[in-house]
Structure 1
Amino acid sequence: MEAIEEVFQFYDTKGDSKIAVSQIASCLRSLDLQPTEALMERMTSQWKDHPETRITIEEFMPIYQNVKKEVGKRPTFEQFQIFLSHYDREGSGNVKLQDLRQLLQSSGEKMSGNEVDALLSNLEIVEGKVSINELVRLITS
C-alpha cells in the first residue's frame, strides 16, 4: 500500500490528495501494471465526458485492484505458440514477416510501424520469416 500511496502522491500535482482521471493509466504503469487502452476505457468510462475530474486514492484503489486482476490474466507461452501457429501456413514453426507485421499493426493493442520495427530488430529473420518460438520467448520475457 505504501508504494501505491507514494506513486499516487507523485501524480498529485495540485497537492489536493487527488489525481486527474487522465493520469490513472500513467499511475498504474508506474506501479508495474500494463493496462490496455481498452481496459482503461472500461475502468474510466464514468468520467469519459469529464477527463479533468480528479479522484482520491479511495476511488483509485478499486481501479488498481481490477486492473491488477485483469492484467494478471496474461497468456501463457503455450497459448502464444498456439495462436501464432495459425499463421504458420507451412507448419515449419515460422511465421512470415509480412503476416506478423500485419497482425501486430491491425489486431488488439495495435502497434505502430516503429514499435513493430523495434520488436523485429530483436529477432533473427531468415528468408522473410521469424521463428514462432523465438518470438514467443521475446514477448513473454
Structure 2
Amino acid sequence: MSSTKTKREGKDSHNEQEMNEIQEVFQFYDTKGDGRVKVDQLGHCLRSLGLCPTEAQIAKLTENASERISFLPMLHAIRKEGAADRDETELSAFLENLDRDSSGSVFQSDLRRMLTVFGEPLSESEYEQITAGREKEEGKINISELVQTLLSFK
C-alpha cells in the first residue's frame, strides 16, 4: 500500500511541477498582468513548453477567443496537445515493432492481422477505409503515413 501512495505522491509532485512551469510560461507571455495572453502568442507559449502545435491546431483552439486567451483554455490546449503527442509516439512505437526490415513500413498482411484480430478489432470495412490507397511496393504501408491516418480517426 505504501508503494502505491509513493507512486501517487510522485505523480502529484510531477503534475505540480508541470503546472508551475505552465503558469510560469503563461505569466511570461501575460504582458498586461490580466491573466490572459494574446491569441497570436499562444503558439509561442505552447512551443516554450516543448509542444509542437501546428498553426491549424492553434487556429482551432483560438477560434472562439477574442484578442486574448485566459489560462484555463490554454491549459486545456496543453493537455490536449500533450495527449496527442503521446498517442502518436506510442502508436509509432507499436507499429515499428511490426517493421521487420527497419524500412519505415509494415507488411499489409501483418497490419491487417494486428488490426482485425487483436485487441478491439476493426471490421474489414474499417480496415479497408484506413489503408485505402496506402499500399506501396511489396505489399507494405508507410508507418508515418499510417500513424497520421489512424490519429485522424479519433
Scaled by the length of structure 2, the TM-score of the pair is 0.46
**Taking CA–CA contacts closer than 8 Å with sequence separation of 6 or more, which of the two structures ends up with the larger relative contact order?**
1
| Larger of the two Rg values belongs to structure | 2
